[in-house]
Amino acid sequence: MKVGIHQHVFTESLNTKNLDYLNIIRDIGFDSIDINVRNLDTATAKIIKRRADKLDLIIKGGGSLPYDKELLSENKDKRIEAIAYMKCLVETVIELGSDFYGGVIYGPLGRFTGLGPTDMELEFSAEALREVARFAKKYGIRLGIEPVNRYESYILNTIKASLHHLKKVNEENVGLLIDTFHMNIEEEDFYQSILQAKDKIFHIHVNESDRGTPGKGHINWNKVFRAIRDIEYKGVLAIESFVGSKVDIASVICIWRKLAESPDALARDGYKFIKKMSEKYIV
């Protein structure tokens, strides 16, 4: 099983001055890195790709829709703007040499109306994802919609709701990015929730209950890894945390304290734990 880590464990943004993070990540043993493409220009993406290729490091693209990209607005021009923005992010993913782009890409992260999602909003979301998916498919890119907890979005909070949304989108290159941190809040059972998604799961974030080091919280990892084994998942298990970076979504995800002693400590301890659980259940 391949194990990955998100850049946000170490830094808010990757650039030509801190590319050695890729070497550090590879030296620890990680096979993959999740990269936030929201603040990444094309030239830098190409440079990152060259370094990752030399290290034999897989890249997975990510980046949720920011507050001001109104994908669900009744104003058609605002929806068109948000779709164009997403296509630009897909183009950056292409430059990175990645085959995946995922996150909260079905509506703006942290934007609320005080109500649950309306049928119209869900239809706008599905229409947009359909258009972006068809664009991405031409380049071999798969999209992953990530159900997140109720405090970060009101659109899709559970795997069940997300699977229903996938049926609306009806594009084969659109699946799920699931995250155990969010599942711990919204799902009744880790095993059954993962089992119901089966081959629709394109990417997995293996995160602890406090978004800190995997294995040091109260996630039921035995159920998680049993499910991963039973659905025969072959993708990457990636740790996502926010230790060494002041990310632009900090106010949305509400991280106000240190989640580990250091980025390096979280990465090393987290890697050892995920490898141990993988070997117990999967290898």
Instruction: Pick the closest to residue 33 from 70, 65, 3, 63 (CA basis).
Output: 3
Q: What number of H helices and E strands is found in the chain?
A: 10, 8
Decide: 37 and 270 in contact? Cβ < 8 Å. no
Q: At what angle do helices 263-281 and 20-28 cross, to 10 degrees?
A: 40
Report how far apart the first and last C-alpha atoms of the chain are (Å, whole number).
7
As a whole number of angstroms, the distance between CA 32 and CA 159 comes to 24
As a whole number of angstroms, the distance between CA 42 and CA 202 comes to 25
Give the domains, in start order, of the chain with CATH numbers: 2-281 (3.20.20.150)
As a whole number of angstroms, the distance between CA 249 and CA 254 comes to 8
Decide: 202 and 176 in contact? Cβ < 8 Å. yes
146 among known catalytic residues: yes
As a whole number of angstroms, the distance between CA 217 and CA 47 comes to 37
As a whole number of angstroms, the distance between CA 121 and CA 213 comes to 36
Q: How many residues does the chain have?
A: 283
Q: Each residue's pLDDT tens digit in the chain (283 positions)?
A: 999 999 999 998 899 999 999 999 999 999 999 999 998 999 999 999 999 999 999 999 999 999 999 999 999 999 999 999 999 999 999 999 999 999 999 999 999 999 999 999 999 999 999 999 999 999 999 999 999 999 999 999 999 999 999 999 999 999 999 999 999 999 999 999 999 999 999 999 999 999 999 999 999 999 999 999 999 999 999 999 886 556 555 666 777 777 778 899 999 999 999 999 999 998 6
Catalytic residue among 91, 146, 171, 208: 146
Question: Considering the entire predicted model, what is its pTM?
Answer: 0.96
Which residue type sits at 126?
A
